[in-house]
Protein backbone atom coordinates (compact mmCIF):
# COMPACT_ATOMS: atom_id res chain seq x y z
CA UNK A 1 0.00 0.00 0.00
CA UNK A 2 2.82 2.39 0.84
CA UNK A 3 4.41 1.58 -2.53
CA UNK A 4 1.17 2.51 -4.29
CA UNK A 5 0.92 5.74 -2.34
CA UNK A 6 4.53 6.55 -3.14
CA UNK A 7 3.92 5.92 -6.83
CA UNK A 8 0.84 8.17 -6.87
CA UNK A 9 2.64 10.93 -4.96
CA UNK A 10 5.64 10.70 -7.30
CA UNK A 11 3.38 10.80 -10.37
CA UNK A 12 1.55 13.90 -9.12
CA UNK A 13 4.88 15.60 -8.43
CA UNK A 14 6.20 14.73 -11.89
CA UNK A 15 3.08 16.15 -13.53
CA UNK A 16 3.44 19.42 -11.62
CA UNK A 17 7.12 19.69 -12.54
CA UNK A 18 6.38 18.92 -16.18
CA UNK A 19 3.83 21.74 -16.36
CA UNK A 20 6.40 24.16 -14.97
CA UNK A 21 9.07 23.25 -17.55
CA UNK A 22 8.51 25.37 -20.70
CA UNK A 23 10.95 23.43 -22.89
CA UNK A 24 9.24 20.10 -22.22
CA UNK A 25 5.80 21.51 -22.95
CA UNK A 26 7.03 23.13 -26.18
CA UNK A 27 8.70 20.03 -27.60
CA UNK A 28 6.06 17.56 -26.44
CA UNK A 29 2.98 19.54 -27.47
CA UNK A 30 3.64 22.79 -29.34
CA UNK A 31 6.40 21.67 -31.72
CA UNK A 32 4.68 18.53 -33.12
CA UNK A 33 1.38 20.40 -33.47
CA UNK A 34 3.03 23.41 -35.15
CA UNK A 35 4.99 21.21 -37.58
CA UNK A 36 1.91 19.15 -38.38
CA UNK A 37 -0.12 22.26 -39.22
CA UNK A 38 2.74 23.81 -41.21
CA UNK A 39 3.63 20.70 -43.24
CA UNK A 40 0.00 19.83 -43.93
CA UNK A 41 -0.57 23.41 -45.13
CA UNK A 42 2.51 23.29 -47.38
CA UNK A 43 1.82 19.93 -49.01
CA UNK A 44 -1.98 20.20 -49.02
CA UNK A 45 -4.70 17.63 -48.85
CA UNK A 46 -5.12 16.58 -52.46
CA UNK A 47 -6.24 12.99 -52.99
CA UNK A 48 -4.19 12.87 -56.20
CA UNK A 49 -1.01 13.05 -54.09
CA UNK A 50 -1.86 9.72 -52.43
CA UNK A 51 -0.53 7.72 -55.39
CA UNK A 52 2.65 9.76 -55.88
CA UNK A 53 5.69 7.47 -56.15
CA UNK A 54 9.37 8.33 -55.76
CA UNK A 55 12.37 6.03 -55.40
CA UNK A 56 10.01 3.08 -55.64
CA UNK A 57 8.02 4.15 -52.58
CA UNK A 58 4.61 5.74 -52.14
CA UNK A 59 5.57 9.21 -50.96
CA UNK A 60 2.51 9.60 -48.72
CA UNK A 61 1.85 5.90 -48.08
CA UNK A 62 -1.40 5.96 -50.07
CA UNK A 63 -3.08 8.79 -48.16
CA UNK A 64 -3.13 12.57 -48.45
CA UNK A 65 -0.24 14.63 -47.01
CA UNK A 66 -2.48 16.03 -44.25
CA UNK A 67 -3.39 12.52 -43.13
CA UNK A 68 0.22 11.40 -43.37
CA UNK A 69 1.53 14.19 -41.15
CA UNK A 70 -1.25 13.92 -38.59
CA UNK A 71 -0.34 10.33 -37.72
CA UNK A 72 3.43 10.90 -38.10
CA UNK A 73 3.39 13.89 -35.75
CA UNK A 74 1.84 11.77 -32.99
CA UNK A 75 5.01 9.66 -33.05
CA UNK A 76 7.07 12.84 -32.58
CA UNK A 77 5.41 13.38 -29.19
CA UNK A 78 6.71 10.02 -27.97
CA UNK A 79 10.20 10.73 -29.31
CA UNK A 80 10.30 14.13 -27.57
CA UNK A 81 9.33 12.55 -24.26
CA UNK A 82 11.98 9.86 -24.52
CA UNK A 83 14.86 11.87 -25.93
CA UNK A 84 14.36 15.10 -24.02
CA UNK A 85 11.91 15.13 -21.13
CA UNK A 86 13.05 11.90 -19.44
CA UNK A 87 16.86 12.30 -19.64
CA UNK A 88 16.76 16.03 -18.81
CA UNK A 89 14.55 15.37 -15.80
CA UNK A 90 16.58 12.46 -14.40
CA UNK A 91 19.95 14.12 -15.11
CA UNK A 92 18.70 17.24 -13.35
CA UNK A 93 17.59 15.16 -10.36
CA UNK A 94 21.02 13.54 -10.12
CA UNK A 95 22.82 16.87 -10.57
CA UNK A 96 20.85 18.50 -7.73
CA UNK A 97 21.18 15.50 -5.41
CA UNK A 98 17.47 14.67 -5.56
CA UNK A 99 18.12 11.08 -6.67
CA UNK A 100 20.47 10.60 -3.72
CA UNK A 101 17.76 11.82 -1.35
CA UNK A 102 15.26 9.48 -2.97
CA UNK A 103 17.67 6.61 -2.45
CA UNK A 104 18.27 7.60 1.18
CA UNK A 105 14.49 7.65 1.68
CA UNK A 106 14.28 4.08 0.29
CA UNK A 107 12.32 5.16 -2.80
CA UNK A 108 12.64 2.27 -5.26
CA UNK A 109 13.99 3.03 -8.72
CA UNK A 110 10.89 1.31 -10.13
CA UNK A 111 8.67 3.95 -8.49
CA UNK A 112 10.58 6.79 -10.09
CA UNK A 113 10.67 5.15 -13.53
CA UNK A 114 6.99 4.17 -13.31
CA UNK A 115 6.03 7.75 -12.48
CA UNK A 116 8.04 9.01 -15.46
CA UNK A 117 6.41 6.48 -17.82
CA UNK A 118 2.95 7.33 -16.48
CA UNK A 119 3.64 10.99 -17.24
CA UNK A 120 4.71 10.00 -20.75
CA UNK A 121 1.52 7.97 -21.29
CA UNK A 122 -0.68 10.83 -20.11
CA UNK A 123 1.20 13.32 -22.26
CA UNK A 124 0.94 11.37 -25.49
CA UNK A 125 -2.75 10.56 -24.93
CA UNK A 126 -3.46 14.28 -24.51
CA UNK A 127 -1.19 15.20 -27.42
CA UNK A 128 -2.73 12.59 -29.72
CA UNK A 129 -6.24 13.81 -28.97
CA UNK A 130 -5.29 17.44 -29.65
CA UNK A 131 -3.43 16.50 -32.85
CA UNK A 132 -6.30 14.42 -34.23
CA UNK A 133 -8.96 17.01 -33.43
CA UNK A 134 -7.02 19.97 -34.84
CA UNK A 135 -6.13 18.10 -38.05
CA UNK A 136 -9.70 16.89 -38.49
CA UNK A 137 -11.16 20.38 -38.06
CA UNK A 138 -8.50 22.17 -40.13
CA UNK A 139 -7.86 19.66 -42.94
CA UNK A 140 -10.66 17.10 -42.65
CA UNK A 141 -7.95 14.57 -41.83
CA UNK A 142 -9.16 11.11 -40.92
CA UNK A 143 -9.47 10.08 -37.30
CA UNK A 144 -7.77 6.81 -36.27
CA UNK A 145 -9.46 3.87 -38.01
CA UNK A 146 -8.16 1.35 -35.48
CA UNK A 147 -7.83 3.02 -32.08
CA UNK A 148 -6.56 -0.14 -30.36
CA UNK A 149 -3.82 -0.55 -32.96
CA UNK A 150 -2.71 3.06 -32.49
CA UNK A 151 -2.67 2.61 -28.71
CA UNK A 152 -0.56 -0.56 -28.99
CA UNK A 153 1.88 1.21 -31.31
CA UNK A 154 2.19 4.16 -28.93
CA UNK A 155 2.74 1.84 -25.97
CA UNK A 156 5.49 0.05 -27.89
CA UNK A 157 6.99 3.40 -28.81
CA UNK A 158 6.84 4.57 -25.20
CA UNK A 159 8.65 1.43 -24.08
CA UNK A 160 11.36 1.91 -26.73
CA UNK A 161 11.92 5.63 -26.26
CA UNK A 162 11.47 5.36 -22.49
CA UNK A 163 14.29 2.82 -22.40
CA UNK A 164 16.44 5.00 -24.67
CA UNK A 165 15.75 8.03 -22.46
CA UNK A 166 16.63 6.09 -19.33
CA UNK A 167 19.87 4.89 -20.94
CA UNK A 168 20.76 8.47 -21.85
CA UNK A 169 20.03 9.54 -18.27
CA UNK A 170 22.44 6.91 -16.91
CA UNK A 171 25.40 8.15 -18.95
CA UNK A 172 24.72 11.91 -19.05
CA UNK A 173 25.69 13.61 -15.83
CA UNK A 174 24.12 17.08 -16.14
CA UNK A 175 20.81 18.49 -17.34
CA UNK A 176 22.64 20.90 -19.67
CA UNK A 177 24.42 18.04 -21.41
CA UNK A 178 21.13 16.10 -21.56
CA UNK A 179 19.48 19.10 -23.22
CA UNK A 180 22.19 19.44 -25.86
CA UNK A 181 22.42 15.73 -26.67
CA UNK A 182 18.64 15.31 -26.54
CA UNK A 183 18.08 18.19 -28.98
CA UNK A 184 20.71 16.82 -31.36
CA UNK A 185 19.23 13.31 -31.36
CA UNK A 186 15.66 14.58 -31.57
CA UNK A 187 16.23 16.73 -34.65
CA UNK A 188 18.40 14.11 -36.33
CA UNK A 189 15.63 11.52 -35.98
CA UNK A 190 12.93 14.03 -36.89
CA UNK A 191 14.62 14.98 -40.16
CA UNK A 192 15.26 11.49 -41.57
CA UNK A 193 12.56 9.28 -40.04
CA UNK A 194 9.61 10.37 -42.18
CA UNK A 195 8.27 12.99 -39.81
CA UNK A 196 9.68 16.00 -41.72
CA UNK A 197 10.23 15.13 -45.40
CA UNK A 198 8.78 11.71 -46.28
CA UNK A 199 11.48 9.05 -46.40
CA UNK A 200 10.67 8.37 -50.06
CA UNK A 201 12.15 11.72 -51.14
CA UNK A 202 15.39 11.39 -49.16
CA UNK A 203 18.71 10.40 -50.78
CA UNK A 204 19.37 6.66 -50.66
CA UNK A 205 21.91 6.83 -47.81
CA UNK A 206 19.70 8.92 -45.53
CA UNK A 207 16.69 6.81 -46.45
CA UNK A 208 18.50 3.64 -45.42
CA UNK A 209 19.79 5.14 -42.16
CA UNK A 210 16.38 6.60 -41.31
CA UNK A 211 14.74 3.26 -41.97
CA UNK A 212 16.53 1.53 -39.09
CA UNK A 213 15.95 4.26 -36.51
CA UNK A 214 13.24 3.73 -33.88
CA UNK A 215 11.23 6.81 -34.88
CA UNK A 216 10.79 5.54 -38.45
CA UNK A 217 9.42 2.24 -37.12
CA UNK A 218 7.15 4.09 -34.69
CA UNK A 219 5.80 6.28 -37.50
CA UNK A 220 4.85 3.23 -39.54
CA UNK A 221 3.49 1.39 -36.50
CA UNK A 222 1.21 4.35 -35.74
CA UNK A 223 0.23 5.14 -39.33
CA UNK A 224 -0.80 1.61 -40.33
CA UNK A 225 -3.69 1.22 -37.86
CA UNK A 226 -4.50 4.95 -38.10
CA UNK A 227 -5.08 4.55 -41.86
CA UNK A 228 -6.80 1.20 -41.53
CA UNK A 229 -3.89 -0.80 -42.99
CA UNK A 230 -3.74 -3.24 -40.07
CA UNK A 231 -1.05 -3.72 -37.45
CA UNK A 232 2.62 -3.64 -38.42
CA UNK A 233 4.02 -6.66 -36.60
CA UNK A 234 7.55 -6.05 -37.88
CA UNK A 235 7.68 -2.46 -36.65
CA UNK A 236 6.20 -3.42 -33.27
CA UNK A 237 8.83 -6.17 -32.95
CA UNK A 238 11.63 -3.73 -33.79
CA UNK A 239 10.36 -1.26 -31.19
CA UNK A 240 10.29 -4.09 -28.66
CA UNK A 241 13.87 -4.96 -29.57
CA UNK A 242 14.91 -1.34 -29.01
CA UNK A 243 13.18 -1.37 -25.62
CA UNK A 244 15.08 -4.49 -24.56
CA UNK A 245 18.41 -3.43 -26.07
CA UNK A 246 18.33 -0.03 -24.35
CA UNK A 247 16.41 -1.01 -21.22
CA UNK A 248 18.66 -3.80 -19.94
CA UNK A 249 21.90 -1.77 -19.89
CA UNK A 250 19.99 1.28 -18.61
CA UNK A 251 18.72 -0.61 -15.56
CA UNK A 252 22.12 -2.22 -15.02
CA UNK A 253 24.00 1.10 -15.25
CA UNK A 254 21.48 3.24 -13.36
CA UNK A 255 23.06 5.01 -10.39
CA UNK A 256 21.43 7.19 -7.76
CA UNK A 257 24.60 9.25 -7.25
pLDDT tens readout for residues 144-158: 999 999 999 999 998
Distances (CA, A) of 143 to 4, 124, 192, 202, 226: 35, 16, 25, 28, 7
Alpha helices in 142-253 (DSSP H): 147-171, 175-192, 204-212, 214-227, 233-253
**pLDDT tens digits along 160-203:** 998 999 899 888 888 889 889 999 999 999 999 999 999 999 99
**pLDDT tens digits along 71-95:** 999 999 899 888 988 888 888 888 8
User: What does pTM read for this prediction?
Assistant: 0.88
Amino acid sequence: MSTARGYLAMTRAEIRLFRREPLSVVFVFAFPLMMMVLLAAVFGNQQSDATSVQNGMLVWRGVTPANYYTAASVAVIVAALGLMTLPISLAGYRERGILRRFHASSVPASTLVSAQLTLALMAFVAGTAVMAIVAHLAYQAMLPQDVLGVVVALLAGTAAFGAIGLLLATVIRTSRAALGIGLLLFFMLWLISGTAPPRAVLPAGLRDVGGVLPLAHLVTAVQDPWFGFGWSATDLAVLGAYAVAAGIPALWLFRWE
